[in-house]
Amino acid sequence: MKGSIVYTDLGLLDYQAAWDYQVSLFDERVNRKLINRSLPAEEWIYPDNRLLFVEHPHVFTLGKSGDQHNLLINDDFLRSIKATYYHIDRGGDITYHGPGQIVGYPIFDLEQFGMHIKQYVHALEESIILTLEHYGLHSARLEGATGVWLDADSPKARKICAIGVKASRHITMHGFAFNVNTDLNYFKYINPCGFQDKGVTSLQAELGSPQDMDKVKEILRGNLVRLFS
């Protein structure tokens, strides 16, 4: 059905495996759109939109136009901390993914939702802002930077969710990384999202105790579905 969203929690999954799965879903939907355009509108088929949640083992990813110097460690040190590194095809600079972080990969056809890419990124940010409100935390956007921040307009600005996406023919992939119980020490090895003067945080750090990942996923998923319905 047009505009339907199918949710899958992939659990803890290697970054390359998740990337390959995203690409397969993305390519399938792009190809379907090309086929649709050769048919009368009444014969068009609309593949469902897929919302993937996943946690990754320790990994750093650099966006297509990012600066590799924002990775502050060499290959030997990377191996010593049991992390991997990928230069990938999303927007944005460098970020970290690891256990305790909800990584969201929406494979969405924005035409089905009547959205352009800026509205889409805004909706992703809004889903995180609403989720943080549930936990009594006020967050906001920071002008000139995607993602969600606490104390955005102060010297204490710290990012709790990074966003980097790719879109072609209005089909999206990649997405967001929301720090819940994330080990923030790994951010010391990068200039997160290219910033050298801003911090990072997590739900656990802000609330003072580890949070129930399943509960956070349920709240976040509900907010996403409402924003895209």
User: Any idea what the CATH number is for the domain that residue 133 is in?
Assistant: 3.30.930.10
Q: How many residues does the chain have?
A: 229
pLDDT in the model for residue 143: 86
Contact 144, 229 (CB under 8 A): no
CA torsion 26-27-29-35 (nearest 10°) is 160
Say whether 132 sits in a helix, a strand or coil: helix
What is the residue range of 23's domain? Answer: 5-227
Please write the tens of the pLDDT for every residue from 84-139.
999 999 988 899 999 999 999 999 999 999 999 999 999 999 999 999 999 999 99
pLDDT at 197 over 70: no
pLDDT in the model for residue 65: 86
pLDDT in the model for residue 150: 96
Provide the 8-state DSSP code for 177. Answer: E
What does pTM read for this prediction? 0.94
pLDDT band at 193 (very low <50, low <70, confident <90, very high): low
| Alpha-helix residue ranges (DSSP H) falling in the chain | 15-36, 75-80, 117-134, 203-207, 213-227
Bridge partners (DSSP) of residue 5 are 49
- Which residues are within 8 A (CB) of 215 and not within 5 positions of it... i.e. 6 or more apart? none
Clarify whether 193 is annotated catalytic.
yes
In the set 165, 193, 203, 224, the catalytic residue is 193
Quote the number of domains for the chain: 1
